[in-house]
Every structure is written in C-alpha cells, then in structure tokens.
A and B are shown apart, each in its own frame.
Chain A
Amino acid sequence: MKTANADAVSSASGRAAAPPSVLVEGAKKFYYMGGETVRAVDGIDLRIEKGEYVSIMGPSGSGKTTLFNIVGGLTKPTEGTVYIDRTDISKLDASELAWLRCRKIGYVFQTFNLVPIMSALQNVMLPLIFGGVDRTEREDRAHEMLKLVGLGERVHHKPTELSGGQQQRVAIARAFVNNPAIVLADEPTGNLDLKTGLHIIDMMIEMNKSRGVTMLCNTHDQKIIKASDRIVWVSDGRVEKIERPAEAQAAFQDEGGPKA
C-alpha cells in the first residue's frame, strides 16, 4: 500500500485508492509564551499510507514532538486538519479524542511509562478496559500479547521487577493489544543499550509487517531509519524533505550524523 513516489507529501487531490492512515493538511500549532508566538508546527502536509513505517527526524526544537502529539491525538492543531484513519481529529471533543486514542492509537515512549503499581498483565489490559472489552477476553488477549513479545512467563511482574528492555516489550504489547490503526513510538530505543534496542526494533518491525499497523517513529537510531519505508525530516516546524532509507543512510555517511 506504499506510494511509488518518495515525495508523497499529500495534497487532497493526490489521494490513492485506499484511504491513508494519517493525513495531515496544512497543520499549524502555535504556542503563546511571554507575549511571543512560537510556531512549533508551521504548515505541515503529510500523508502516511496504511502499514507504512515512517521515521521522523529533526533537531530538538524542530517541532517533531508537536507533530507527534498532533498525529497522536494529544494536541489539537491551531490550524489545518488531521485525519487519523479517516477521522478528522480537529473536530473531536475531549471524550471523542479519548476514545480515538483508546481504539486507534498505540503509544510507545522513551521512558516506557508503565503504570508502576500494576503488573505487566494489568498494564497490557489497560487499553482493553478503557475499550470496554470484558474481563475474560481482556485477560486472554493480554496474555497472548505478552507471549508474543516473549514475556509469557513474567506476566505478574511489576515494572520495577523488569529490565528496561522487558519494560519496553510490555509497552509494545500494550500499544498493539487494541489493534490500533497506528502506533507512535517516541525514541523507543533512547533509554536502552544497543543490543536491547535492536531487539525492540526487530519486534516493532515484526509487528508492523505482520499486523499491517502503521508505525510513526521519532528517532535518531540508524537501525530504525534503515528499516523505515520513509524518513521525514522536520525543521523549523516544516517538513524539510522526505527520503528513502538509502538516501538517508548516504546523508549519515557524508556528514557523520544526522543533520541539525
């Protein structure tokens, strides 16, 4: 379901037959601080097809976190429209947004963010509770997901009893358990060592391919970039360019690091 054109920055007319997973049109987000307007996102158009694995790159302060929050239904854009799986999120009220986050979006964070008082199993069951899944099915599905990420034996462990990599695997199980349309990962390997990070990346790619879930990943990790379908470079609140992994790799080698 990928577009052949690498520069598939959308316009409303350039829509493929299948509806995109994410469609951002002219999104702007301004913050007003100390009498000044901060243009965190300043007119971004982005189209992500279903099942695509897209990485967002850019220096800190470039607006990628804001873009992330907009696509994740956490922040409403000041201007523009954002469609997640065909739903215009700018028109949703708070409770509809909560439902969208519950049913359509999965989150994986740099700091894992498991609920500390809850076991791995309970953490994975949370989205199912909010989603209204009944008790027995909820447990079955959470067990199944934890088995899938290789933690079938540790379902009753609390986050503090798990290593960083294991916590992130619980977070991945939690993000995918509700069969979301899109999973957003914010520096998912940022707090992990290289080897553990690789496991996590493999796991996310596997989930992306086997379940057809769209992935949007905010990262500096070259391994993730290599595995992505496209890399979106964000700078000063705009999309600077959209590349294929091979082009990005070349840029890395030329400059010895991500462009700032």
Chain B
Amino acid sequence: MSAVPGTEDPLERGRSQLPLREVLTCFVFQSLKLRMGRLAVVLLGIAFAIAFLTVLVGTQMVMDGIKRIAAETSETADGEGGSGAFRNWWIVVALLIATAGITNAVLMSVTERVKEIGTLKCLGARSLHIVEIFLFETLLLGTLGGLLGGLLGVAALAVLFGAQLGPDFLLVFGWRDALTLVGISVLAAQGISLVAAVVPVALAARIDPAEAMRYEV
C-alpha cells in the first residue's frame, strides 16, 4: 500500500472478515427462514428428484436383498437382473433434473439480490465472503431437500415393495438399509448442490459494487 510521500501509512493493516458463525447466523439461516415461502417450491422440486433417485437406488438394494435370501435358501432368484443399466440411466436423469433446479434457484436468488451484494461489498465484504454466503445457503437447501427426498423415497419404497412382498419386505430391507439410503440421498443432494452452485456463485462474487448500486431489479 503506498501513501502520500512523507506521511505514514494510516490504513492499519488488515483484511475484512466474516467468521463462519456470522455467515450462518446473520446470513444463511435468516435468509432461508425469511425466503422459505418461495424456497419451499424449490425444496419440493429437489426433494422429488432425490426421492426418485432414492427409489431407484433402494430398488437395487431390495433386489440384492432378495437375491441374497434366495441364495441362502438355495432357491432360484427371480429378480430382474437385466434392467440395471436402464436404472443407472434414470439415476443420471434424476441427478440432472435436481442440478438444474438448484442452479435455477441460486441464479434467481443472486439476480434478485444484486443490490444486496453490492451493498455488502460497499460495507467491506470481500468476494470470498459472498461466495461463502451463497455456497452455504445452497448447501443447506440441498441438505434439507436431500433429507426430505430421502425420507419420501424410503416411504415410497416401503409402499411399493411392502404391497408386493408383505412382511417379507422387512427381511430384505431393514432399518439399517433405510438409514444408509437416506444418508446416500443427503450426500448426493449436497454434492449436486455444490456443483449446481458453482456458476451462480461465481457470478455473485464478480458483481462490481459500483454497477450493482445502479442496478434496477
């Protein structure tokens, strides 16, 4: 930093900061709470895509369970082994739909908050802080969507196979499987929300405060 010759550098060295605790309490939680009305739609969208994914993965688990039991009782398994590739294709489609939904939601959130981002930068926020705010918001949204979708998916699975297998369903798909499946759903949702957030968050970080202040929504 250079100063007028002959004077001391008056700007004490430092960097503006935004501790993680403040990112969460001042921005992320409050923002999601207040925008929940509209975000509920986005959340449901993510949840349904993830639920679909959960059912597909869960079906595989149930089939594997049936095969296992069949092998133990040395009966011949009648599960449809050939549709695995087709199922994987649907999993990819579900992931893509969820990604697109989240990207759209974050993009909208960024555009409607250009002035807010500009203001924060005027008050001293660095681009990194803007990245953190939006990334954690998306991650939280993804986690909620994943959890909801996972639970929905497990419920759908229970209805689907419970009707076919009756009480035997619990033999091939126990509590541990259900928990694993919800865990997978949450992780998958978090993963895709991070991927989905990259472009909108990069745009948000690059917003120029001088231009943002002239921006009309």
Query: Which of these, B8, B116, B126, B127, contacts A115 with CB under 8 Å?
Result: B116
CB distance from A136 to the nearest CB of B (A): 14
Instruction: Count A interface residues, CB 8 Å.
Output: 43
Q: What interface size band does chain B fall in?
A: 35 or more
Q: Please judge, given known A-B contacts A95-B15, A129-B22, A131-B16, whether A87 and B10 are in contact too, CB under 8 Å.
A: yes
Binary flags per residue of B1-19, CB closer than 8 Å to A gives 1, else 0: 1111001111110111111
Give bound CA distance, A126 to B116, whole Å. Answer: 12
Q: Tell me, yes or no, whether A7 is within 8 Å of chain B by CB.
A: no
| A99 partner residues in chain B, CB cutoff 8 A | 11, 14-16, 124
Give bound CA distance, A105 to B16, whole Å. Answer: 13
Majority-rule SS of A interface residues: mixed
Q: Please judge, given known A-B contacts A74-B210, A129-B22, A129-B26, whether A86 and B10 are in contact too, CB under 8 Å.
A: yes
Q: Tell me, yes or no, whether B163 is within 8 Å of chain A by CB.
A: no
CB distance from A100 to the nearest CB of B (A): 6
Query: Which of these, B11, B116, B127, contacts A116 with CB under 8 Å?
Result: B116
Binary flags per residue of A174-212, CB closer than 8 Å to B gives 1, else 0: 100000000000100000000000000000000000000
9 CB contacts below 8 A, A to B, read A19-B7, A74-B213, A86-B4, A87-B1, A95-B15, A105-B122, A113-B115, A115-B116, A126-B120
Task: Give B residues with C-beta under 8 Å from A.
Answer: 1-4, 7-12, 14-19, 22, 26-27, 30-31, 34-35, 115-116, 118-127, 129, 208-210, 213-214
6 closest A-B pairs (Cβ-Cβ)? A102-B124, A130-B124, A74-B210, A130-B16, A69-B210, A102-B16
